[in-house]
Structure 1
Amino acid sequence: MQTIRTAPEAPDRAQLAADPHRPRYHFLPPANWLNDPNGMIDWDGTLHLFYQYNPNGPFHGTIHWGHASSTDLVHWRDHLVALTPTPGGPDAEGCWSGCAVNNNGTPTFVYTGVNPQTVCLAVSTDDLESWQKYPGNPVIAAPPPAIAAYSGHDFRDPYVWCEDGLWWMVIGARREGVGGLVLLYRSPNLTQWEFVRVLLAGNEQASPYFYEGAMWECPNLLDFGERRALIISVQDAQWRLQHAAYFTGRYDKGVFAPETGGVLVYGHAFYAPQATRLGDGRILLFGWLRETRPAAAAQAAGWSGCMSLPLIVTLQTDGKLRLTPAPELEALRQQCWSLSDLPLTPHSEHRLEITGAALEIEIEFEADQVDDYGLAVCCAPDGAEQTRIVIKPEQGELWVEHVGADPALALPMERAPLTLTPEQPVRLRIFVDSSVLEIFVDDGPCLITRIYPQRADSQGVRLFAAGAPVDVAHLSAWRLASIW
């Protein structure tokens, strides 16, 4: 076994703490680049989160695996880098995404080595603090020849579980000119793998539930008993990251029959989620929140990327997946502001007393409306800069609009579908964290985006109604403490 050498030591978190765009209660490394969550595993009651990390700067390159752990899903402890590329080895150009499993008491990584893209192993013998690479790496050197002929170099992101006495793996690939693939493998011991079949194939030109793109990355297969969910991350033919999406359906003896599907999270920021089952049975998921500002801005800031909130995944009776913030986040709540039964007249605004760059807001609107309404966050006192969360009854959508944002940021207008039923209130749960905005619709979609307020005083919250009156049945808001 080869013991992994350590990467350059990360700077102290305090060096970047004053950055107004740096999140306070979303996990991110002390500095530099972060992308996909990897190797999530609940080990003796502690959640270990590994992640794609570049210790050399806030840009993608020389990918290592960073490491953090938490005993409460909220507060985090930084550890030494877990995986480092080995010169001349199968991961010489990077240790890309993968997972962690408990192999009869031995923590084991199954990850992507590049380049070419292969499957490699590493194990730990001291409670996940140091790792040794398997000397027989790679354990899968390439996809089957028939698939390699049309998948090019794309073969990555293994996700592994144990079932019926065997190890099973799903891994992302593509059929060039057609669409993404998820391949299924099995093994008796994690080192000898047999290709079983193409578990699911996509079609870029015919997508019944969402745009399926050209390549499927970071597959996860989640077990909900009689149903399973296959989560994928969609890349187009120009290697542009699109969205995380899912299929749900029946799975039996290595055969998956999807019955429905959808976009997992709306918005341009969220990508490459990974899920794991906690010791209490809940399925926990994190996703990478990428920067939507220019790369030069991230370079100047000294950091790029953060994790989403810790999210609990459940399967609804209609086959849709639902994401809800982990209830452990409520420990961050500080003083509460609340109101009830507030009428908003047409073309009016109501300014809340609460302000801040780290907020949680729960709001319930009476939904019998025909015109736009909603709330704005990160508002400057004069309203010249604000981020508006707009419920659009006529379109049946939720929009996020950036008012007064720096044009150089080119922030996209975000939207998500919204099912509005007469006499059924609209409930939103909203998290603002410096440059992160996460919105969860009760029994509906979630939308996650990045915002970059330019003014230090853009910290207000306002309610608004357009051309028709709106009733706010209830609102509660909290400032949230830092997790550091």
Structure 2
Amino acid sequence: MTDLALSSSLAMAATHPDPAFPRFHPRPAQGWINDPNGISYINGRYHVFFQYNPLSARHSQIQWGHVSSADLVHWEEYPVALSPQPGGPDSAGCWTGVVTLDGFVPTACYSGVQDHGGHSQVVIARGSADLVTWKQDGHVAASMPADPLVTAVRDPFIFHFNGARYAMQGAGLADGRAALLLYTVESLDDWKYQGIWLTTADPVAAAHTPAEIWECPQLVQVPVSSGGSAWVMMFSLWLSGDDHEHANGVGHLIGSLTADPLSGLPVFTPSSGGKADLGRDFYAPQIVQLSYGSADSSPAALLWGWANEGPGRDGRRGRTEEEIDDAGWSGVLTHPRVLSVVDGALVVSPVPEVEAYRGASVATRAAGSVVVPGFAEVLVRGASGASGAGSVELVLGSGADAQVVYSGSLAAGEELRIFVDASLVEVYGSGSVATTLRAYPAPGEEWQLTLPSGATADVWELALPA
């Protein structure tokens, strides 16, 4: 462990004075966080950066915070990695981007903004071998394209295809379409703009990823259950007036990547798509491409998303801006998630490592109505047979103040994994994407899970492993 590690982020969380503060999802004890950035696996450690304002619980003067882990369970918090440079191309914030190895040098490629309009530039910073210290010299690798149709650009993402390195950025066009811009990247210091790559004029994209700007674009290869792999694109679906209330959420496209016969540039052809998360409190995920949990090194990917605070959605009680200010913190990252394609659909699962947080068993094969601790994992099993289907509800509180935080169907024989971490709820269903939700327990309120006939639940308290 580097000497510059500040502390165990999760150990600090266990003593946080706010009962709504999650204990099993790493983040600083104070300040605003949003988009996960720079997710990478380098020298045996997973590194997760994130947009961060350590000075208040509001989005302002965005920096990059940093946590890392060797096992996805024990997390260490580090000093701020990137900060706005006065007079530089990122003077108004170091926004979303990625970290990649340039040779053997960790390199951050991120959106630098000088004002709060739609214009941004790709700014480069070089890191130490342990990714703890960074040199920012204001180098710009790509400026706003000289194309009057492109009115907003943000969030660079790097991918590889046919042995070459490419990059893309999310964009908005003057005619109202969302778009992707494509770049060739022989040198990380000088990105070559190749033009508008994909837009919501594509009928599959229009159906599944409608937006005015595609934010936080991602493109990775994931395993297909029947063999081989598929290319998955993911976008955060920005609409004017969102202001951190992203009604369209996050969408994805599944398709193929081929080489254009004339230029050799990659061509993405979407064939299907859908939501990337079914909750209203999930936005700006980032995916890291790596070979994960596979003896044959087949392509695999891990995803982290941002769960924001809010005024309450879908009947759930939220927090006012004043309450968020008083708490002194805002935002949390999800558990790391594994992506795959099963029967043509995207499937999202928690990484197996999070089972390490299972502590004392609270209930085994419980039925009917089950009380769930405020920090818990629940494994729900639907009954087999034609009569095994029904619905599952997770309710916070009782009587007139009760909130239905989650309600969903349970197929016969299906399993659900539910994680409750203070005010963050993550639900993972068999053969589906996840559902990310926020809810804030009042003093004395309990969580209660209601199961359909024949279904059972195993419940564990969450605990930090040694």
* AA matched with 1:302: G
| Secondary structure of residue in 2 paired with 1:277 | strand
Q: Give the distance between the partners of 2:397 and 2:447, measured in 1 at CA.
A: 4
Paired residues of 1:358 and 1:433 also in contact (CA < 8 A): yes
In structure 2, the partner of 1:478 is 460
In structure 2, the partner of 1:330 is 355
Q: Give the distance between the partners of 2:252 and 2:389, measured in 1 at CA.
A: 32
Report how many aligned residue pairs link the two structures. 424
* AA matched with 1:166: A
Tell me how far 1:24 sits from its aligned partner: 1.1
Tell me how far 1:476 sits from its aligned partner: 1.0
Tell me how far 1:338 sits from its aligned partner: 4.2
Q: Give the distance between the partners of 2:13 and 2:427, measured in 1 at CA.
A: 29
Tell me how far 1:447 sits from its aligned partner: 1.2
- Percent identity over the alignment is 29
Paired residues of 1:228 and 1:249 also in contact (CA < 8 A): yes
In structure 2, the partner of 1:305 is 331
1:317-356 paired onto structure 2 within 5 Å? 317-318=343-344, 320-340=345-365, 342=367, 350-352=368-370, 355-356=372-373
Structure 1: runs of 5 or more not aligned: 1-9, 343-349, 392-397, 399-417
In structure 2, relative to structure 1, the CA distance for the partners of 1:37 and 1:237 (3 Å cut) is: same
Q: Give the distance between the partners of 1:17 and 1:84, measured in 2 at CA.
A: 26
1:16-55 paired onto structure 2 within 5 Å? 17-55=16-54
TM norm structure 2 = 0.84
Structure 2: runs of 5 or more not aligned: 1-8, 223-227, 260-265, 311-318
Paired residues of 1:42 and 1:279 also in contact (CA < 8 A): no
Larger relative contact order (C-alpha < 8 A, sep ≥ 6)? Answer: 1
Tell me how far 1:192 sits from its aligned partner: 1.8
* Structure 1 counterpart of 2:445, from 438, 447, 458: 458
- Residues 57-86 of structure 1, C-alpha deviations (whole Å, 9 max, x = no match): 110010000011111112210101000100
Q: Which moved more, 1:426-435 or 1:256-265?
A: 426-435
Tell me how far 1:434 sits from its aligned partner: 0.8
Q: Which moved more, 1:424-433 or 1:227-236?
A: 424-433
* AA matched with 2:234: I
| Secondary structure of residue in 1 paired with 2:208 | coil
| Secondary structure of residue in 1 paired with 2:419 | strand
| Secondary structure of residue in 1 paired with 2:190 | coil
Q: Give the distance between the partners of 1:372 and 1:164, measured in 2 at CA.
A: 47
Paired residues of 1:25 and 1:483 also in contact (CA < 8 A): no
Q: Give the distance between the partners of 1:120 and 1:165, measured in 2 at CA.
A: 24
Tell me how far 1:165 sits from its aligned partner: 4.6
Q: Give the distance between the partners of 1:102 and 1:266, measured in 2 at CA.
A: 33
In structure 1, the partner of 2:315 is none
Q: Give the distance between the partners of 2:99 and 2:13, measured in 1 at CA.
A: 30
- Residues 217-267 of structure 1, C-alpha deviations (whole Å, 9 max, x = no match): 000110236521111100113345231111111101310000001100011
In structure 1, the partner of 2:213 is 215
In structure 2, relative to structure 1, the CA distance for the partners of 1:388 and 1:297 (3 Å cut) is: closer
Q: Give the distance between the partners of 1:176 and 1:113, measured in 2 at CA.
A: 22
Q: Give the distance between the partners of 1:250 and 1:162, measured in 2 at CA.
A: 14
In angstroms, what is the RMSD of aligned CA positions?
2.7
Tell me how far 1:198 sits from its aligned partner: 2.2
1:377-456 paired onto structure 2 within 5 Å? 377-380=395-398, 384-387=401-404, 389-391=406-408, 398=409, 424-454=412-442, 456=443
Does residue 268 (structure 1) correspond to residue 280 (structure 2)? The answer is yes
In structure 2, the partner of 1:59 is 58
Paired residues of 1:311 and 1:323 also in contact (CA < 8 A): yes
Paired residues of 1:178 and 1:204 also in contact (CA < 8 A): no
- Residues 74-113 of structure 1, C-alpha deviations (whole Å, 9 max, x = no match): 2210101000100000001100000000111110001000
Paired residues of 1:178 and 1:203 also in contact (CA < 8 A): no
Does residue 158 (structure 1) correspond to residue 140 (structure 2)? The answer is no
Paired residues of 2:20 and 2:440 also in contact (CA < 8 A): yes
TM norm structure 1 = 0.81
